[in-house]
Amino acid sequence: MVASININPKQRIRLLRIAVHVGAWIPLIILFLDWWYWRLVDPIREATLWTGKFGIILLVLSLSITPLNIVFGWKAILPLKRPLGLYAFMYLTIHFLLFVALDYGLNLPQIVEAVIEKQYALVGLIAFILLIPLAITSNRYSQRKLRKRWKKLHQLVYVIGIFGVLHYLLLVKNDYTQPLIFATIIAVLLILRLKPVKTRVIRARRNIERRFA
């Protein structure tokens, strides 16, 4: 007979946090190893695309936390929203630095020219600038100080997600599959956040829970 393992809520949250921290670092470690062992054909371009892609993935995962709680009632995952968002910011910061420092050598006139001439660069820059105040205020102190304004400020994350996907769409030239998948996911997440939809989903979930209780 296999003994059942009882995990209390605090242990579950701790394990989920560890999983997020480990999972968030793995892509960066893989990139570093590929760079170190010369596995990248075009290192700067591939590193820029890699960090941008995982930045969007982590941002979408952060956006999905509240809707998943709405649909399934998974309250244990709510504390994961902040670390996922901050890891997304970390990846997108590296993405930005690779673009301005390695790709353009911190040449300000060339960077400005690229932002003006290339739509994907402009959209990406807007998304990154909007993300900065969210990262800075992702702490309890800011939440206490800003109160209701904090929630309104952090609703910008959906706008950032839309800009991020648009940046991806404008960047790719042939295969639009991945950015369209991200766009679809964000659209579904936005719909689930609408009050009438949210109310109906929660009511339906509770009815199901009562039926199978």
CB 168 within 8 A of CB 60: no
- 22-62 pLDDT, tens per residue? 999 999 999 999 999 999 999 999 999 999 999 999 999 99
Tokens 């509770």 map to which residue?
Answer: 206
Tell me how far apart the alpha carbons of residues 160 and 165 are, in angstroms, rounded to a whole number.
9
Predicted confidence (pLDDT) at residue 187 exceeds the cutoff of 80:
yes
Can you give the pLDDT at residue 2? 44
Mean pLDDT of 190-198: 93
212 Cβ neighbours under 8 A, 6+ residues apart: none
**Closest listed residue to residue 9, CA positions, set 97, 73, 111, 77:** 77
Tell me how far apart the alpha carbons of residues 87 and 57 are, in angstroms, rounded to a whole number.
10
Can you give the pLDDT at residue 43? 94
Predicted confidence (pLDDT) at residue 11 exceeds the cutoff of 90:
no
- 82-133 pLDDT, tens per residue? 999 999 999 999 999 999 999 999 999 999 999 999 999 999 999 999 999 9
Rounded mean pLDDT of the chain?
Answer: 92
Can you give the pLDDT at residue 12? 84
